[in-house]
Structure 1
Amino acid sequence: MVAGTEVIHQSIPVLDVQYGCITKGIDEIVDISAATAVALAVVSPSSSPECRLVAPGPDAVAVDVAASELDSRASDAIPNVSVEPLQFVPSIRSGSFADTGPRRYMEDEHIRIDDLSAHLGSLLRCPTPGAFYGVFDGHGGPDAAAYIKRHAIRFIFEDADFPQASEPDEVFLDSVENSIRKAFLLADLALADDCTISSSSGTTALTALVFGRLLLVANAGDCRAVLCRKGQAMEMSQDHRPIYAAERQRVKESGGYIDDGYLNGVLSVTRALGDWDMKMPRGSPSPLISEPEIRQATLTEDDEFLIIGCDGIWDVMSSEHAVSIVRRGLRRHDDPERCARELVMEALRLNTFDNLTVIVVCLSPEDRSSPPSPRSQDLRQQPPRLRCCKSLSAEALCNLRSWLDNDGGGN
């Protein structure tokens, strides 16, 4: 038998047995799992001095339990063994893919940092694991998006007084949000001040930060972040387009207008960095703003991956469709880089008309979305196997050993 337990009438030293529980009054041999046997073995020795561990061999552990102890635990020893579950901590790995698509040139940029502490060194003390991702979808030329990619780390982690902490408490979270809002504003103003950037060039911006179990997404524009939780798509951002009722109302209140789905008849988004030809004079109210919307989520073991993509993806597929493609890909090859490419290929197949950029961030060391095989599922559902037979008396065992030592064992 495999990792079994022998419950016999008395201890027989001539046999090497695994997980042997010796008591009286029970003449059965019971097969239980190794985990169950160990659970029986670790019952507090201080409360049962007659329970002891011995090692008859390298692969066997014998547990002798007095009759009075086993009788009192026979029905409830296993249920009473409680192991406090470890708090979930994401194990982060990611992949990305970008393609010009049907456009003549590329205006998208992105940042992918799986280990923020290693990347920033002594510049930042933050909860671990720490990661940072960003997608910047330019318009009016590539200059604004390229500029934000080059300086995003400085804007967020240096210029915006990013907080230092080892644990993500409430004070830390509030400070992070304030720093990100400040960073978006600083980046917007920097585009206005840089004479090499055209005033008609702008970019949407979506950033995602992971600190321990905290996921924080900041978005200004129509890039999108989608979290897969137990196979379901959870949108971690809102597309800032004129069709969004809250944005349409804000635009009207700020003196702007919507013409054929475009802000002031020009721009398809209502939030962006840059585009200073629509924001001048500086400091005056504008229907186009750079302030991000920020959403938080506490990650759990149900969270599988995060998709971050520019609008070229979401113009032709839903969040649910994208999640299904990535889940299917992870079941096949467990490679987030290939999943990102498969999303881009699907968008091209669906005739997207824009540049394409996608980041796929896995939150576990290996794919857990694939269903278990029928055999492994059956094994998990089976209760511990029980086999019962009568025990042999000491005299019978001695006779058996004598028979094996003599001619009977040679045939």
Structure 2
Amino acid sequence: MFLEAAMAAGTDYSPPLEAGNSTERREISDVRDALSENSDDVKQTLSGKPPRHLSVARHSATLLSPSELDSDARVTGARSPADIVSSYMPVFRCGSCAEKGPKPYMEDKHICIDNLPEHLSDAAGFPSSGAFYGVFDGHGGTDAASFVRNNILKFIIKDSFFPACLEKAIKSAFLKADYAFADESSLDISSGTTALTAFIYGRKMIVANAGDCRAVLGKRGKAIEMSKDHKPNYTSERQRIEKLGGVIYDGYLNGQLSVSRALGDWHMKGPKGSACPLSAEPELQEIVLSEEDEFLIMGCDGLWDVMSSQCAVTMARKELMLHNDPERCSRELVREALRRNTCDNLTVIVVCFSPDPPLRVDVTPSRVRRSISAEGLNLLKGALEGSL
């Protein structure tokens, strides 16, 4: 009877009750096999925890010593389940689009290098595959954005930690670029810039961000944010700012800046190396690319002010399935942001990890295994508790 009720409720499961004939025993045997196969999911569901297949990518934190970098910094790592497929190697191709939008002048800069080994003239120890991309949203002029755009990669590859520890090399490079800019007497060091970079080393991608540009990974149509916006009002940034003696007025750091991390802006910073509410230190996020990772969107806040991460991924995927051209795709994202009346400069980079367009996602429910309904779950729970 329970088998019929559970099936009527839309579930493939039945309770392990004692049976008095061969037909019932066969039904119970089938159910026990199904429960064994899905035991972790069932146990977690009955205990109030989500099934394992619903969990999101886990992130592990790596801290650098306070003497090296600010203690509030974190390096997070996201590992895809497919990273065990060692034979996979991404192929990089990108497109970019930059428009000044409604502003009177353009302060954004960006960089795109699809073949990093060739760019570095086959630097010793570098794998056969690698790439580097960056978006730099300037303010108060273009000096800071131009300087960082032209020098950040050099500081990374010349760092003593490169390539043995890329995370440390990238963090160190951001700070070195900031200090070097302060020493440029011919430039306006009161100008500033946010900085978002993606360094890809084989299959390993490290996204570093200081400011409110954003990188979003398209994973079979799902948006995975690879950076966190640094706005003064956000809880973690507000706590860091106030701890260091800074204040926030109407969402602006010290009443002057709408971001809490940036390179340059030396009129707002103290002596080199001193703790400052306006930090040039980036936050890092890492992932090992797999076949499910289709493309990366990198954009300044002019894009994200009018478009959600998921909206951008959905639109980009549709465009790539249509024409498979990342340049055209980035241009369409910029046009859409303009149609939505963005108030800022616009810079968008779309990086594809395969020469082929994204695969069409099959949303047809599987006939082999169905999700248990709420009614069926209650029936199953009662039967299991009664058999204990």
TM-score by length of 1: 0.66
Confirm or deny: 8 A CA contact 2:317 2:358 kept in the other structure: no
Structure 1: how far apart are the matches of 2:273 and 2:196? 24
Choose between structure 1 and 2 for higher RCO, CA contacts under 8 A separated by at least 6 residues. Answer: 2
1:327 and 1:369 in contact (8 A); partners too: no
Q: Mark the CA change 1:124 to 1:315 in structure 2 (over 3 Å): closer, same or farther.
A: farther
Q: 1:129 deviation in Å?
A: 1.4
- Counterpart CA distance in 1 for 2:301 and 2:234 is 15
Q: Say whether residues 1:163 and 2:162 are aligned partners.
A: yes
Tell me the distance in 1 between the aligned counterparts of 2:235 and 2:245: 16
Listed as ranges, the matches of 1:172-187 within 5 Å are 172=164, 175-187=165-177
Say whether 1:90 aligns with 2:90: yes
Unaligned runs of 5+ in 1: 1-83, 165-171, 375-411
One-letter amino acid of the structure 1 residue matched with residue 175 of structure 2: L
Once the two structures are TM-superposed, the CA of residue 280 in structure 1 deviates from its matched residue by 2.5
Distance 1:122 1:94 in 2: 21
Q: TM-score, normalised by structure 2?
A: 0.70
Matched, 1:238 2:232: no
Q: 2:112 aligned with 1:112, yes or no?
A: yes
User: Paired residue for 2:145?
Assistant: 145
| Structure 2 unaligned blocks of 5 or more | 1-83, 365-388
Larger radius of gyration: 1
Partner of 1:99: 99
Cα distance, 1:125 vs structure 2: 2.8
Q: In the alignment, which of 194, 207, 214 is matched to residue 224 of structure 1? A: 214
In the TM superposition, residue 364 of structure 1 has moved relative to its aligned partner by 1.1
Q: Could you say which residue in structure 2 is the equivalent of 1:361?
A: 351
Give the drift of 1:243: 2.3
CA deviation string 1:277-324 (max 9, x = no partner): 000244432100111100001111111100011111011100011101
Contact kept in structure 1, 2:143 and 2:189, CA below 8 Å: no
Identity of aligned residues (%): 56
Q: 1:303 and 2:293 equivalent? A: yes
Task: Find out whether 1:193 has 2:192 as its counterpart.
Answer: no
3-state DSSP of counterpart to 1:304: strand
Query: 1:109 is paired with a residue of what secondary structure?
Result: strand
Cα distance, 1:371 vs. partner?
A: 4.9
| Alignment correspondent of 2:309 | 319
2:339 to 325, 328, 349: 349
CA distance in 2, matches of 1:275, 1:91: 37
Distance 1:327 1:194, change over 3 A: same
Structure 1's 248 and 85: CA in aligned 2 closer, same or farther, altered over 3 A? Answer: closer
The answer on whether the counterparts of 1:206 and 1:224 sit within 8 Å (CA) in structure 2 is: yes
One-letter code of the match for 1:259? Answer: Y
Q: Which amino acid aligns with 2:130?
A: G
Partner of 1:209: 199
- Partner amino acid, structure 1, of 2:160: D
In structure 2, relative to structure 1, the CA distance for the partners of 1:86 and 1:206 (3 Å cut) is closer
What's 2:126 paired with? 126
TM-superposed deviation, 1:200:
1.8
* CA RMSD of superposed structures (Å): 2.0
CA distance in 1, matches of 2:356, 2:252: 43
What is aligned with 1:251? 241
How many correspondences in the alignment? 282
CA distance in 1, matches of 2:85, 2:185: 56
**Cα distance change, pair 161–86 in 1 and its aligned pair in 2 (3 A):** closer
Cα 1:346–1:124 change in 2 (3 A) is farther
Aligned partner of residue 268 in structure 2, secondary structure: coil
Question: What is the 5 A alignment of 1:350-389?
Answer: 350-371=340-361
| Separation in 2, partners of 1:85, 1:108 | 38
Deviation at 1:126, TM superposition (A): 1.5
Query: Is the Cα–Cα contact under 8 Å of residues 179 and 272 in structure 2 kept in the other structure?
Result: no
Distance 1:324 1:131, change over 3 A: same
CA drift of 1:157 comes to: 1.2
